[in-house]
Amino acid sequence: MERLVNLNVVDEIGVVSIDNPPVNALSQVVREQLRECLQHAKSDSLVKAIVIVCQGSTFVAGADIREFDQPLTQPHLPDVLDAIENSKKPVIAALHGFVLGGGLELALACHSRVALQDTVLGLPEVSLGLIPGAGGTQRLVRLCGPLTAVDLVIAGNRITAFQAQALGLVDRCVESDIQTKAIELAKYLIHTNQPWGRTRDLSITPFNADEFEQKTSMLLRKKVGEQAPRAALQAINAALTMPFDEGMACERSLFIERRQSDQAKALRYVFFAERALISRTRRLAARGSAASIQKVAVIGSGTMGSGIAICMANAGLNVILIDVQDAALQRGVKVVDDYYRDALGKGRITEQESTDRRDLILPSSSMEAVIDADLVIEAVFEDMDVKRQVFRQLDVLCRDDAILATNTSYLDVEEIADCTNRPQRILGMHFFSPAPVMKLLEIVQTTLTDTAVLAAVLGLAQRLGKVAVTVGVCDGFVGNRLLAAREKEAMFLLEEGALPEEIDRVMRSFGFPIGPFELRDMAGVDVAWRNRQGRFPQLSEREQRCDWVDKLYAAGRLGQKTGSGFYRYEEGSRRAVPDTWLSNLLEQHRSQFNIVRRNITDKEIEERCLYAMINEAAWLMENDIVENAGDIDLVWIHGYGFPRYKGGLTYCADRIGLNQVADSLKRYNPSAGKELSAFLSSRKSFHDN
């Protein structure tokens, strides 16, 4: 059998070395061989102490997630870790790279831990719908106290080696030669008769119970709908109230229950969808040169433009923020200044970083400033004529090898590219607001976009730390197209008798952070109105009739910014208050069109909103707008708050069954038949290839 774990005796030290690339995951074979090597080391009289070290770029980054869809196999990790902890010879963990999940649990079972300075440690199990399943909660509470356990286990925070040392989780931090330093520590322990012992025997140091209570309830409030953080708290409480073995049994049974839960399955799906996207991005990016982009010009210094400039500066790029209107430019500069002042005030960056990054952004009111930019991102008003005018200018002013991108959120990128002499160097870079915070970036590739151009921009997206999803040209791309489908169905529901607050409540209880009408008020009714104006001739008769957006716009109710939209807002508050203005408007509409209001159940609201989106997702697949269905899920998870623990839209659709979705759509709206995507009615699933 392939050797993934080896034992070498160096002087009196048994060095157990794990070599299971890429991340030394604790697969069944690794667990088996680790146990075997430990037994040999324990029974070898020449070995006085044991060091566990990993080959490659990282220590153990966790259990092997690919095994979680299969039944549990022996040896179980807790048993292997017990064997380590009960060793009569001290066992030292030599940490580097990522020490995550089962990897940190392995380290906790050792008697001492030494880490390279840049090591990252954490228990990310909750992000996979799990809790630590090999003593992580029980040992961490004993070693570092329950407050640290809450940070790592429930919040899923990662910490640096220095932070871990301050918390008593790591005994020594070293600059280099981790294996040598760990061997030195092992020798020191055995030759100086230093006391060493089992983590399980430590008693829990007194802690502030009120702080513990406050911290956990604050965290759990943020994790509405997620089951794993609640199970994690149960396991931490078991550590606080039970003897070690009982606490371990409690943790294990919670872990096994979580492992087979629907939420854990959905989160595993998202984990692998993200990994698949990352490796496709890396592969494609390798075909171009991201390093060729050093200087970026951003045209338009509104919220999006200044946010994009900040993203670029945060990644160390030189930026020219251009706005030909002086007043707008000054507002943009203020947004940038406020951002860095705030980040510094909140301790997110140092004074030096704040100054350095701020200095990378140079404002200019002249379009000529684009002259030596490698990449220009246009973020002006969302209007085709305005954008085409800007691109014509850019085409004349920019270097021939410059890449030109538009930040449009729904306009036809091909039509924009068409007015230049370099359509092959043009693409869309659709950032989400607030740009420095939101991870998602839709990269819109036209039929003419050069592969090397796409590759360079994907490489840049990696530098920016974005989840970059490449999409094709269509109205609204992936994100806003699905949003429009949901909004359209929500408008029909209003016409039939539902109220905005009912629809928003149902969507929030599904797991969205905000409902469609609250979102519309936040994003601006004027944005929807403008979009509607542009597409009015293509709208169906019913869409034209459901004209609340036009009426709100005419009444100056543009959303939160004007104090009213679908809801009203008290002065200085963002809390949406249901408004009789709107319910009266809906009543008038129904009586005008002889529509009898009916009671609509929550189930119908949820199904109609979701199924309309699923139908649109099927259209995206049918028209090759995305390469695979997982990308649709990632766009909505990272850009629109689709609950990650539900796996994403197409994942949910497969669970429901595409036939069932199609049948329901037809049942709810018999005339919807012609709008049904062929993909939806002909395929069994989004994910069968």
Determine, following the binding rule CB under 6 A, whether residue 278 of this chain makes contact with ligand 3HC: yes
Helices (H), 465-562: 479-496, 500-510, 516-523, 525-535, 541-545, 548-554
Determine, following the binding rule CB under 6 A, whether residue 98 of this chain makes contact with ligand 3HC: yes
Inter-residue long-range contacts of 593-599, CB under 8 Å, 24+ positions, other chains counted: 593/545, 595/495, 595/496, 597/496, 597/497, 598/496, 598/497, 599/497
Could you tell me the smallest distance in angstroms from the CB atom of residue 485 to ligand 3HC? Answer: 31
**100 and 124 Cβ atoms separated by less than 8 Å:** yes
| From candidates 90, 129, 132, 639, binder to ligand 3HC by CB under 6 A | 132
CA distance 547 to 652: 31
Query: Which CB, 93 or 483, lies closer to ligand 3HC?
Result: 93
CA distance 169 to 194: 18
Determine, following the binding rule CB under 6 A, whether residue 194 of this chain makes contact with ligand 3HC: no
Tell me how crowded residue 459 is: count the other CB atoms within 10 A of its CB: 23
| From candidates 102, 305, 479, 565, binder to ligand 3HC by CB under 6 A | 102
Determine, following the binding rule CB under 6 A, whether residue 270 of this chain makes contact with ligand 3HC: no
Per CB under 6 A, the segment of 93-101, 192-200, 234-242, 595-603 that binds ligand 3HC is: 93-101
**141 and 124 Cβ atoms separated by less than 8 Å:** no
- Residue numbers 575-614 binding ligand 3HC by CB under 6 A: none
Determine, following the binding rule CB under 6 A, whether residue 77 of this chain makes contact with ligand 3HC: yes
* Interface with ligand 3HC: number of residues (CB under 6 A): 26
Could you tell me the smallest distance in angstroms from the CB atom of residue 182 to ligand 3HC? Answer: 21
Query: Which CB, 21 or 197, lies closer to ligand 3HC?
Result: 21
Could you tell me the smallest distance in angstroms from the CB atom of residue 50 to ligand 3HC? Answer: 21
Determine, following the binding rule CB under 6 A, whether residue 65 of this chain makes contact with ligand 3HC: yes
Determine, following the binding rule CB under 6 A, whether residue 22 of this chain makes contact with ligand 3HC: yes
Determine, following the binding rule CB under 6 A, whether residue 64 of this chain makes contact with ligand 3HC: yes
**55 and 19 Cβ atoms separated by less than 8 Å:** yes
**373 and 395 Cβ atoms separated by less than 8 Å:** no
Could you tell me the smallest distance in angstroms from the CB atom of residue 24 to ligand 3HC? Answer: 9
- Cα-Cα-Cα-Cα torsion 337, 342, 347, 349, nearest 10 degrees, comes to -30
Determine, following the binding rule CB under 6 A, whether residue 61 of this chain makes contact with ligand 3HC: yes
Nearest to 469 by CA among 652, 309, 630, 621: 630
| From candidates 53, 106, 128, 270, binder to ligand 3HC by CB under 6 A | 128
| From candidates 51, 54, 80, 105, binder to ligand 3HC by CB under 6 A | 105
Q: Dig out the tokens for 230 from the structure.
A: 């609640």
Determine, following the binding rule CB under 6 A, whether residue 279 of this chain makes contact with ligand 3HC: yes
Determine, following the binding rule CB under 6 A, whether residue 151 of this chain makes contact with ligand 3HC: no
Query: Which CB, 125 or 489, lies closer to ligand 3HC?
Result: 125
Helices (H), 25-65: 28-43
Determine, following the binding rule CB under 6 A, whether residue 313 of this chain makes contact with ligand 3HC: no
Q: Which residues are catalytic?
A: 63, 102, 105, 125
DSSP 689: -
| From candidates 3, 40, 66, 392, binder to ligand 3HC by CB under 6 A | 66
**643 and 514 Cβ atoms separated by less than 8 Å:** no
Q: How many residues are there in the chain?
A: 689
Determine, following the binding rule CB under 6 A, whether residue 63 of this chain makes contact with ligand 3HC: yes
Per CB under 6 A, the segment of 123-131, 232-240, 411-419, 575-583 that binds ligand 3HC is: 123-131
CA distance 310 to 217: 34
Helices (H), 260-295: 262-285
Residues that bind ligand 3HC (CB under 6 A): 22-23, 25, 61-66, 77, 98, 100-102, 105, 124-125, 128, 130, 132-134, 136, 275, 278-279
